[in-house]
């Protein structure tokens, strides 16, 4: 399956959540990560993200069974090109 993660968290915790997500997904923009995952990985990432967040922080995870349902357009600069994904 495919997942997109977007976060809006206190600046004190941005570096740790960014580093954690980089180990698991592809960074695509500012506070946005994407990647192909198995269900077990998705469940683990969801659980581990809970350890990073505190009151007022927000993380949204979008998932799709397959990338074939998803289209993606970039307007402007592609901050970090994802090879062989789309």
Nearest distance, CB of residue 28 and its own copies, angstroms: 7
Q: Of 13, 1, 5, 68, whose CA–CA distance to 38 is shortest?
A: 1
Site string for its own copies, 5-44 (x = CB under 8 A): -xxxx------------------xxxxx------------
Phi, psi torsion values for 75, nearest 5 degrees? -110, 125
CB 34 within 8 A of CB 26: yes
Q: Of 16, 4, 3, whose CA–CA distance to 57 is shortest?
A: 16
Choosing from 22, 44, 64, 85, the residue that interacts with its own copies (CB under 8 A) is 64
Which residue numbers belong to the known binding site? 8
Q: Tell me which residues touch its own copies (CB under 8 A).
A: 4, 6-9, 28-32, 46, 49-50, 53, 55-65, 69-79
């Amino acid at each position: 399956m495919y997942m997109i993660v977007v976060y809006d968290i206190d600046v004190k915790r941005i570096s740790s959540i960014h580093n954690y997500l980089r180990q698991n997904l592809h960074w695509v923009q500012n506070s946005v990560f994407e990647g192909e995952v198995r269900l077990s990985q998705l469940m683990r990432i969801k659980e581990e993200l809970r350890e990073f967040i505190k009151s007022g922080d927000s993380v949204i995870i979008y998932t799709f069974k397959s990338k074939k349902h998803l289209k993606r357009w970039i307007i402007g600069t592609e901050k970090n090109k994802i090879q062989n994904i789309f």
